[in-house]
Amino acid sequence: MTGPVIAGIGVALPPSARQDDLWDGYFSRHYAGPRAALARRIFANSGVRTRQSVVSPLLEDVSGWSTERRMRRYQAEAIPLGKAAVSRALESAGLTASDLGLFAVCSCTGYATPGLDILLARDLGMSPSVQRLFIGHMGCYAALPGIGVVSDFVTARGRPGLLLCAELTSLHLQPPAARTDIQQIVSHALFADAAAAVVVTPQSEAGYVVREVAAITDTSTADHMTWEITDLGFRMGLSPKVPSVLATHVRGLVLEVLGRHGLGIADVDGWAVHPGGPKILDVVQEKLGLAGSALAESRGVLAAYGNSSSPTVLLVLDELLRRPVPPRSIIMLAFGPGLTLYVTLLEGSTLAA
């Protein structure tokens, strides 16, 4: 099989908590007042049953922390989480860290220099000549342009590359002034922490060929999704109009990508759709005319892990590859600020066990 080929995947998760426990033990008090009933409904209808976080509000309230304090905690927590995901991806691909020619990291929830790319390259024993790339502030869709960049490197240089997506959204719990903001209630009900990594190689007997990465950005809706750096962490803006914008563009872009490869929607037997929320998945299912079971893995990831921003679509990919008979063709789909929609087409055989 010629490359670029996704030949390995690795996931690392912090401790988990039940959504009901998070509501009863913390957020019911956080949203006490005129918006309490609304907040309860939003949490109950989020599609999330459990979530993972490096900082649980049940144990530690960071809502009053300065951005500096949050960034220091980000570095301390992201390094071991990222190391675990990268190590598992390398093991899955049958490679060592010293084999890599490129190490790319996506993250929009924390910054420091030296960053994760430098520190993990050092700690994992990557070559001093490994090329590094840090991709920040692309949000939930970052994994797909990340795969595109790593795939281009692999094609051009003939050496393996690795992409790590690591997000710690739990560090950005907002303070009391934001308690009645519906957009903050929604983000607090959905977002979680995770790290996921994929190895891309020039060729492999088992894996998924990255056939194409494509995007469309509707800049007229740039204010619909924002991620602002404040003195008290990063604050999300999330318009309720996002699903309608996605509905406008998703079918056209998916058909365009598939058409260039002589495929149609019926030829795709694996859908890795970023579960930004239940309405997002409903819109994708409706506009693409998919059966209810087509997005089972995406809905399952939302229920079990919440929305962990950039790693989430990779968590869905990992679930697809755990099917008894893994898919032959996979469409990965994610969206985020811009508003931007990314589509990636994968084709191939199953990953080696």
Note the Cα 42 to chain centre separation in Å: 22
Selecting among 106, 108, 140, 165, the annotated active-site residue is 140
Alpha-carbon distances of 175 from 73, 103, 111, 182, rounded to whole Å: 17, 35, 21, 14
Specify the residue for token string 């790593």. 150
Return d(Cα 332, Cα 213) in angstroms, integer.
9
Tell me the sheet residues that pair with 102.
Answer: 131, 161
CB 249 within 8 Å of CB 216: yes
Give helix 242-259 / helix 278-288 axis angle, nearest 10°.
Answer: 40
User: In 87-160, where do the E strands start and end?
Assistant: 102-107, 131-136
187 alpha-carbon distance from chain centroid: 15
CB-based contacts of 20, cutoff 8 Å, min separation 6: none
* Beta partners for residue 335, in sequence order: 341
Q: How many CA atoms lie within 13 A of 150 on its CB side?
A: 34
129, 102 contact by CB (below 8 A) = no
Whether residue 140 lies in the annotated active site: yes
Gap between the Cα atoms of 217 and 337, Å rounded: 9
Dihedral, 137, 80, 198, 214 alpha carbons, nearest 10? -10
The amino acid that residue 81 corresponds to is L
Q: Which residues are catalytic?
A: 140
